[in-house]
């Protein structure tokens, strides 16, 4: 039984009401149960292998003693704590599915949101860490000669690692053995615990492995501004360095005490901590000392001239993530939730991040001398997997750099993880066939000419399709793939970009969370928008469960689609159009059914069913009726407005038209309240595009910014 707490609640409800009223097990497709493609493997891992993720036996026992529930549904203390954890896992499953279907950056955001809520004590504690990379890339990397997306890339890397753990017994054995779980997988409980452990610390390593890129981007922008090519880097070219790294690298006294308990040694800086961890794992095999690595890391931010005039984003990713984790740990000292404590596995994730780029390749592997320099998964399974997946994930990456935008890179990839191996077919846009044909003609001419001069190149395509598969050679130079053999090929294919769902509305991720906070507030503060402050709205949003937070976020993400349908858009930039201060009845008639459809599909995906037991059940003596019925709705996961059966667009629209005016208002009234709140707190404005027909009434005129 994949979602055990949901099943326990279902059985309790059946005993109480004498009928099966829910909640019911979430569905998973037959392909996800048996398939060996990327999406199927990822969903199967979350759905089946991560049973009892974040369960707390002590809290469950306290609930039995007190006769109360400590888990949050729409409101606190409505459901069992472990049931909330099951629903959280289902949220992660659904958001990963959505991202793998679209590859959209906004869907990547939801995966980050789920992970930080589940494992890092809430999105608010990690908000800046998550948002900075995407904002910096979108706004600053266009100044560079070469740069591609690292935000969605990191979520793809996360998914690849989950698929490999799910399908490759050799890797699972190496990981489970390293972390002292049952490597033979004879113990089901141990296997589930190992998978949950892997999810947490692999997620930390993969999702945050490139978060230090803003430091590297600033360095490269200076180079780009002065037209410094790779061959020109040196004393005659300007470059920047980062002085005073102490605020980023110094360990707090609490952290020093904690790591002394863990390792029996006291560290003053992140450099010392990571040097110790990596030396313990790799020092004997590669022949380097802890001091060698500590000295090297000390110079990383301050002396780029010692590293061929390059800045290492992996170094900054590790130290910035450490600073964030330490802040969460110390901030949790005064919180009422479960405490967050740094473990040795957190340090393993940090050292994996540090190793994934140039530190291993240029500073550790050469120390091996004549020995095999490739990293073995048994030595550092997180670092091994991160290096492998980081190389494999080269498809569907937005090009930002001036040169990168003209380079042919794979737009898609098809994976087959059967038989403990990885077979990947990279797909190139068939509309770029002229570039491929020109490259092939150049190759023919080069061969006929005796292979004199430089071999023709077409970036990623020639690395995969040339006489030598340099792409595969590069991976196998870095990591030992015995036990996880790779097969790589490429093909041209039509590229379907419709899943990106790109509309005219534009806003940074710095607004996404705030937008959702305002939307949630609109349900409770209609008509009183001027009487609440931002901190109150934030507190109300923070009290929601992950499921309801995501519902608000997904409603916000759909807003651009709705606005597009009525020829409007939102932006945080001043533009010369009339603002929209309130939706007209004609506009509401268009967007309300669309929102109703989104809500219906969301409810079904999250396992909700049609039912009204929460309205019909007798209220126990002494209980407040409203509180009891709202909690029962969460405990059964039934709602009288949810549709059962196949959700076609036609059925949903008919259902919407049959609703009462009060229920119809739930699909559109919050939007008008939200318009006032986001203008007040967030600086966003909604604008009306000029129309030349009468198909939609014009918005009320507003001031032009």
pLDDT in tens, 312-347: 999 999 999 999 999 998 876 545 456 789 999 999
Residue with more model confidence, 619 or 561: 619
Rounded CA gap, 149 and 356, in Å?
17
Residue 337 confidence (pLDDT): 53
DSSP state of 361: I
* pLDDT at position 702: 35
What are the φ/ψ torsions at residue 165 (nearest 5 degrees)? -60, -40
- Contacts for 243-251: CB closer than 8 Å, 24+ residues apart: 243/302, 245/301, 245/302, 245/319, 248/301, 248/319, 248/320, 248/323, 249/319, 251/326
Q: Where are the beta strands (DSSP E) in 71-115?
A: none
Q: Is the pLDDT of residue 405 over 60?
A: no
The candidate with the shortest Cα–Cα distance to 208, out of 139, 276, 128, is 128
The CA dihedral of 301, 302, 308, 312, to the nearest 10 degrees, is 0
Q: What is the pLDDT of residue 217?
A: 84
- What mean pLDDT comes out for the span 361-365? 96
Residue 611 to residue 614: CA distance in whole angstroms: 8
The tokens for 638 are 């039934």
Tokens 């991976």, residue located = 475
Instruction: Report pLDDT for 143.
Output: 54
**pLDDT higher than 70, residue 374:** yes
Q: How confident is the model at residue 535 (pLDDT cuts 50, 70, 90)?
A: confident
Task: State yes or no: pLDDT of 514 exceeds 50.
Answer: yes
Is residue 404 predicted with pLDDT exceeding 50? no
Taking 80 as the threshold, does the pLDDT of residue 454 lie above it?
A: yes
Peptide linkage before 526 cis (omega within 30 of 0): no
Instruction: List, for residues 285-298, the tens digit of each pLDDT value.
Output: 999 999 999 999 99
Distance CA 35, CA 44 (A): 9
For residues 326 and 252, is the Cβ–Cβ distance under 8 A? yes
Give the mean model confidence (pLDDT) for residues 103-130: 87
Determine contact, residues 649/597, Cβ cutoff 8 Å: yes
CA dihedral 339→119→148→229, nearest 10 degrees, is: 30
Closest CA to 144 of 315, 311, 321: 311
| pLDDT value for 701 | 38
Percentage of the chain with pLDDT > 90? 59
pLDDT of residue 698: 43
Closest to 393 in 3D by CA, of 356, 358, 433: 356
How far apart are the C-alpha atoms of 14 and 1, rounded to whole Å?
A: 17
Residue 189: predicted pLDDT: 94
Does residue 627 have a pLDDT over 80? yes
Q: Per-residue pLDDT for 507 more than 90? A: no
**For the residues of 146-181, what is the DSSP string, one character each?**
S-B--HHHHHHHHHHHHHHHHH-HHHHHHHHHHTTS
Residue pLDDT, tens place only, 140-192: 555 544 546 778 899 999 999 999 999 999 999 999 999 999 998 999 999 99
Helix (H) or strand (E) holding 46: none
Residue whose C-alpha is closest to residue 684's, from 581, 566, 584, 565 = 581
Flag whether pLDDT at 497 surpasses 70: no
Give the model confidence (pLDDT) of 412-452 as tens digits.
Answer: 999 999 999 999 999 998 888 888 888 888 888 888 888 88
The values of phi and psi at residue 612, to 5°, are: -135, 25
What is the pLDDT confidence band of residue 699, given thresholds at 50, 70 and 90? very low
Above 70 in pLDDT, residue 400?
no
CA distance 134 to 213: 10
In the chain, % helix, strand, coil (3-state, to 5) comes to 60, 5, 35
- Over range 659-665, report the average pLDDT: 89
User: In this predicted structure, what is the pLDDT of residue 76?
Assistant: 95
Given a cut of 80, is residue 691 above it in pLDDT? Answer: no
pLDDT on residue 508: 52
Has residue 1 got a pLDDT over 80? no
Least confident stretch, 166-175, 521-530, 586-595? 521-530
Residue 427 is classified by DSSP as E
* Block residue for tokens 């006291």: 266
Q: What is the pLDDT of residue 705?
A: 26
Partners of 250 in the β-ladder: 269
Query: 375 has which bridge partners?
Result: 479
pLDDT of 695 higher than 80: no
């Amino acid at each position: 039984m994949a979602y055990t707490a949901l099943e326990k609640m279902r059985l309790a409800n059946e005993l109480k009401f004498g009928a099966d009223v829910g909640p019911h097990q979430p569905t998973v497709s037959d392909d996800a149960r048996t398939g060996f493609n990327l999406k199927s493997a990822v969903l199967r891992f979350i759905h089946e292998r991560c049973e009892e993720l974040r369960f707390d036996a002590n809290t469950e026992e306290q609930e039995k003693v007190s006769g109360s529930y400590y888990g949050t549904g729409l409101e606190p203390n409505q459901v069992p704590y472990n049931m909330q954890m099951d629903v959280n896992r289902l949220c992660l499953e659904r958001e990963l599915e959505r991202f793998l279907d679209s590859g959209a950056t906004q869907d990547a955001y939801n995966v980050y949101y789920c992970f930080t809520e589940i494992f890092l004590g809430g999105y608010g504690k990690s908000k800046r860490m998550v948002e900075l990379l995407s904002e910096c890339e979108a706004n600053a990397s266009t100044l560079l000669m070469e740069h591609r997306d690292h935000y969605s890339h990191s979520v793809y890397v996360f998914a690849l690692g989950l698929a490999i753990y799910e399908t490759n017994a050799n890797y699972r054995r190496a990981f489970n053995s390293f972390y002292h779980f049952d490597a033979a997988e004879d113990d089901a409980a141990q296997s589930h615990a190992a998978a949950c452990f892997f999810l947490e610390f692999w997620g930390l390593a993969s999702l945050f492995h490139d978060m230090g890129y803003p430091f590297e981007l600033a360095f490269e922008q200076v180079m780009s501004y002065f037209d410094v090519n790779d061959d020109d880097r040196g004393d005659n070219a300007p470059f920047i360095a980062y002085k005073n790294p102490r605020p980023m690298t110094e360990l707090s006294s609490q952290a020093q005490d904690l790591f002394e308990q863990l390792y029996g040694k006291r560290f003053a800086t992140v450099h010392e901590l990571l040097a110790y961890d990596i030396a313990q794992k790799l020092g004997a095999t590669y022949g380097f000392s802890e001091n060698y690595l500590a000295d090297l890391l000390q110079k990383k931010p301050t002396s780029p001239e010692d590293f061929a005039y390059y800045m290492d984003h992996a170094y900054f990713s590790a130290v910035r993530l450490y600073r964030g984790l330490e802040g969460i740990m110390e901030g949790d000292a005064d919180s009422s939730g479960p405490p967050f404590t740094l473990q040795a596995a957190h340090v393993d994730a940090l050292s994996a991040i540090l190793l994934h780029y140039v530190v291993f390749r240029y500073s550790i592997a050469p120390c091996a001398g004549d020995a095999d320099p490739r990293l073995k998964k048994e030595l550092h399974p997180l670092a091994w997997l991160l290096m492998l997946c980081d190389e494999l994930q080269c498809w569907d990456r937005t090009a930002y750099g001036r040169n990168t935008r003209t380079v042919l890179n794979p737009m898609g990839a098809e994976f087959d993880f059967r038989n403990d191996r990885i077979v990947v077919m990279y797909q190139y846009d068939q509309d770029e066939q002229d570039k491929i044909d020109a490259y092939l003609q150049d190759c023919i001419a080069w061969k006929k000419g005796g292979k004199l001069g430089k071999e023709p190149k077409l970036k990623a395509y020639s690395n995969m399709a040339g006489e030598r598969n340099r792409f595969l050679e590069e991976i196998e130079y870095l990591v030992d793939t015995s036990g996880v053999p790779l097969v790589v090929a490429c093909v041209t294919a039509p590229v379907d970009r419709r899943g990106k769902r790109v509309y005219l509305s534009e806003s940074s991720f710095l607004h996404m969370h705030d937008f959702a906070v305002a939307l949630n507030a609109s349900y409770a503060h209609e008509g009183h928008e001027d009487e609440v402050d931002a901190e109150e709205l934030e507190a109300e949003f923070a009290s929601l469960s992950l499921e309801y937070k995501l519902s608000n976020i997904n409603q916000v993400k759909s807003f651009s689609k709705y606005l597009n349908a009525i020829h409007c858009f939102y932006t945080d930039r001043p533009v010369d159009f009339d603002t929209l201060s309130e939706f007209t009845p004609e506009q509401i008639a268009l967007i309300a059914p669309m929102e109703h459809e989104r809500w219906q599909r969301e409810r079904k995906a999250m396992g909700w069913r049609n039912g009204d037991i929460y309205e019909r059940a007798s209220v126990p003596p002494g209980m407040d009726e409203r509180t009891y019925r709202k909690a029962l709705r969460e405990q059964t996961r039934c709602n009288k407005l949810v549709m059962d059966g196949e959700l076609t667009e036609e059925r949903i629209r008919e259902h919407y038209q049959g609703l009462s005016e009060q229920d119809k208002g739930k699909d559109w009234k919050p939007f008008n309240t939200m318009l006032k709140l986001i203008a007040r707190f967030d600086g966003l404005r909604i604008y009306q595009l000029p129309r030349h027909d009468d198909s939609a009434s014009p918005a009320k005129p507003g001031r032009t910014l």
